Structure 1
Amino acid sequence: MSHQNLAVFDFDWSLIEEDSDYWTIQNLSPVQWEKVKTLAGMQWTDLMDLSVKEIQDQGVTKDQFMAVLEKIPFTTAMLNTLKVLHSHHTRVLILSDANTFYIDTILRAYGVRDLVSDIITNPAYTDEKHRFRIQRHIPASDPPHQCPNSCAVNICKGQELDKYIATHGPFERVMYVGDGKNDYCPSTRLRETDRLFARSGKSLSAMLKNDPEAAAKIKSNITFWETSEVVLKAVEDEHL
């Protein structure tokens, strides 16, 4: 049985310095991003799938997607965080509402794909017209995940973390790095010996600071961070 440490990262605005959906569509087609804003009531993963499909129908290639993704901001400190975790033999999981194509392309571009043990996110696939497409992690045809927290319908990160730890754990310590409200549910799974890094100025930190009832459900130590140097220093100093 495993007793190593586990480091869990959300992707957008947590591991990288941007929202990969916005970055990609805005760079490839500002007009398409304006359309996204008019369809904001649509389920997000379905909307991203529609958007990438329409962009490709307008002539944008998968190689052009990759070229844009490879330029997304990724700090040296966060890259070094992954390297230090690897040197500590810490298992690294990305738990994200992005998609496999974006995440894999970005990690490979920065030379750190082999430092990440597993990725749980929305799957990308190639359709019959050879277009890159995105599916929900939990298909619309599946029963609702019935999480009491306000998780997205297509993924419950708390349930995914539970399953991951049951399969690969137990872990001596778990650290979780996130920024959004969908990172709250997995944060409630952390123990007193674990560590939550909530990005300042984002919806998770606002929730924890403004909702005492929600904050009371977090047992772990909470570190609010603005720059990735804070996460790197903690990983180095505490041998996470």
Structure 2
Amino acid sequence: MKFLLVFDFDHTIVDENSDTWIVRCAPDQKLPNGLRSSCRPGRWTEYMGTVFVYLGDSGVQEDDMKRTMTAIPFTAGMVDLLGFIGKNKEFFDCIIVSDSNTVFIDWILKAADFHEVFDGVFTNPAAFSSTGYLTVRNFHAHRCPKCPKNLCKRKVLKEFLEKQLERGVTYTQIVYIGDGGNDLCPVMFLKKGDVAMPRHGYTLEKKISQLSRDFCPVECSVLVWSSAVEIMSYLKRLLKEN
């Protein structure tokens, strides 16, 4: 018996958007108007690349960025939830699928000692160049018309499950925990018996509700959460029932 927990990162594990939080490093903690308005739909990762160039040009160092990112707050109840998962790893495989980047997520998880909770982190690859500038690349290429150019979370989840199956690993249930519009595509992939857990008041909950109103409900069960303590309560019930 094994359950797969799939987490988004921004506004799910942490209570902010890590990409906009990093602007606190910028001069006067804001970006020039021209840079802010340069982002094109579906090309957020490319935009963040230009933000990182601006930060580098402004003299922002790696240590400054790390200090800022590790101060980002976790969502209410998330520290308790991740602690619970960490103590019950024999029952839970746990992955992150995020539109953030490897550097930010690695810093944040290691600073809070949660990196060993997760069996995989699927996000945009980032690294510091020889000149000390942070660079970021698209996670992969895909053909999904519903997702941003750099990341289709459904494709990531599907490929992860296929690789696990090759290793002889199957899951009693998949629990998907997220908040954003780009979490709808993987939620639509979930089957009856799986659970989608959208954060209350955020885009994913609204999009799932709209689907139901359009008589195109998702196949999986839907449980809305406001605090990660509610997610933990559900996982505890799962263990008791199984």
Whether these two folds match at TM > 0.5 is yes
Written as runs of structure 1 = structure 2, the 5 A alignment for 1:49-88 is 49-75=49-75, 77-88=77-88
User: Which secondary structure state, in structure 1, belongs to the residue aligned with residue 127 of structure 2?
Assistant: strand
Give the residue type in structure 2 aligned to 1:221.
Answer: S
Matched, 1:24 2:26: no
8 A Cα contact 2:177 2:196, kept in partner: yes
Give 1:74's aligned amino acid.
F
**In 2, Cα distance between the equivalents of 1:124 and 1:32?**
21
**Cα distance in 1, alignment partners of residues 9 and 215 from structure 2:** 22
Partner of 2:144: 147
Deviation at 1:228, TM superposition (A): 1.9
Are residues 1:131 and 2:133 paired?
yes
Give the Cα–Cα distance (whole angstroms) in 1 for the partners of residues 127 and 227 of structure 2. 34
Runs of 5+ consecutive residues of structure 2 not aligned to the other structure: none
Counterpart in 2 of 1:14? 12
One-letter amino acid of the counterpart of residue 17, structure 2: D
| Secondary structure, counterpart of 1:186 in structure 2 | helix
State percent identity of aligned pairs: 25
Q: For residue 124 of structure 2, what is the aligned residue in structure 1?
A: 122
Q: CA deviation at 1:215?
A: 7.2
Alpha-carbon distance in 2 for matches of 1:26, 1:212? 39
Aligned to 2:182: 182
**In structure 1, what is the equivalent of residue 37 of structure 2?**
38
Amino acid paired to 1:13: H
Opposite residue 115 of structure 2, the aligned amino acid is R
| Structure 1 residue 159 displacement after superposition | 0.7
Post-superposition CA distance 1:142-199 (Å, at most 9, x none):
5xx2225x11111110011000011124211111101111101111121221111001
Q: For 1:237 and 1:28, how far apart are their aligned partners in 2? A: 45
Q: CA deviation at 1:66?
A: 0.3
Give 1:40's aligned amino acid. C
Q: Which residue of 1 aligns with 2:234?
A: 234
**1:200-219 superposed Cα distances (whole Å, 9 cap, x missing partner):** 11111111112337773521
Q: Which residue of 1 aligns with 2:162?
A: 166
Counterparts of 2:206 and 2:212, CA distance in 1: 11
Please report how far the alpha carbon of residue 37 of structure 1 lies from its aligned counterpart in structure 2 after TM superposition.
2.8
User: Gaps spanning 5+ residues in structure 1: where?
Assistant: none
**C-alpha contact (below 8 Å) 1:26/1:32 kept by paired residues:** no
Paired with 2:35 and 2:178, the residues of 1 have a C-alpha distance of 24
RMSD (CA atoms): 2.0
Question: Quick check: 1:220 aligned with 2:220?
Answer: yes
